[in-house]
Structure 1
């Protein structure tokens, strides 16, 4: 099988890297949405002072209401709960109705079922993409962007007689063990000099 997100060889619908990434995002999502609520909801000016949520006719609010509609606890809860209900329907078809929607509980439940999801759930890639979209949206509000992969170079492993793999190799900040997502070749710190030496002259 190949990973639904990156196409690399995998033992299920997601490779190990994307399974771990999904697990981390599910664990962090509730806390991020609580933090986003603090960023988006105007604070009271003093004890007992109430901030109106619906303004009367007048100038348009300086707040981007599209962002509030997109990044809010209720929407995240609805999305994650729908995934829990679908996974539960296939995984445990005889257990009756899904428990009430709670973002913390649903994220925790999905994280606990990731082994089965990756191995048996055909929509695992779609689940990972939608959780990734929720994660990116809320991080854009709280000002904590997710680390981005750093491009290292091209894979220099031979995959056939005189044929070099040539796939792009990247790593996350702080990651020291590199693996080509196409041919699976591994590179440790001892291989960095060799990897750099055999890069094409016009490599960026």
Structure 2
């Protein structure tokens, strides 16, 4: 029996339970946007004197923690995520060369696409989940943005080839424009998809 490396729940052989696998996927999807916000908030550190101007007494301290400036930035996040991508690829395809350099968005997307295999087979999954969460928390400490909560949109209205409605719960993070049903795989992303989802929700029982 394998336990979730985050919460200890029985996973039936996977490294993460379903709840924490979904959280990891959401964090990977959100990380590039979050670090774009970090870049907007932080003043780049410079080595020259008198970089910060203040109307206060002489010799003011920087209003920003310069250690944070060094540690919480897009380049650092991109480096960490790329190293995870390199290691996942090394384990999954040991005869392949290392992946080419990529930006944070591309590496987060790649790991997200491989997440089903990762959760099932990759021994470092728990550490990956913890480090991605730490990157998220560090970024949110700068942008002052609380972690978004998934919004329940209703139940999946996609039909299978026999005409049966899926019915799985559909939820998304605020601002997320594309949602894939975890049960049937239908992707909601166009205006037509969202209108269809809204229109065909079952009526509440009287």
Write the distance in 2 (CA, Å) between the matches of 1:66 and 1:102: 23
Are 1:78 and 1:101, in contact at CA under 8 Å, matched by a contact in 2?
no
2:57 is the counterpart of 1:56: no
Structure 2's unaligned 5+ residue stretches are 51-58, 150-206
Give the SS at the match of 1:109.
helix
Match of 2:123 in 1: 122
Write the distance in 1 (CA, Å) between the matches of 2:141 and 2:62: 20
Larger Rg: 1
Match of 1:180 in 2: none
Write the distance in 2 (CA, Å) between the matches of 1:62 and 1:142: 15
Match of 2:6 in 1: 5
Give the SS at the match of 2:21.
helix
Spell out the pairing of 1:100-139 with structure 2 (5 A cutoff): 100-139=101-140
Write the distance in 1 (CA, Å) between the matches of 2:64 and 2:142: 12
Q: How many residues align?
A: 139
CA RMSD of aligned residues (A): 1.8
- Mean Cα deviation higher: 89-98 or 113-122: 89-98
> Which structure's relative contact order is higher, taking Cα pairs within 8 Å and 6+ residues apart?
1
Q: TM-score, normalised by structure 1?
A: 0.64
- Per-residue deviation, 1:41: 2.3
1:20-49: CA deviations, max 9, x gaps?
A: 00000000001100001101127xxxxxxx
Q: TM-score, normalised by structure 2?
A: 0.63
Match of 1:34 in 2: 36
- Per-residue deviation, 1:55: 3.5
Spell out the pairing of 1:1-204 with structure 2 (5 A cutoff): 1-11=2-12, 12-41=14-43, 53-56=46-49, 59-146=60-147
Return structure 1 stretches of 4+ with deviation > 3 angstroms: 57-60
Give the SS at the match of 1:23.
helix
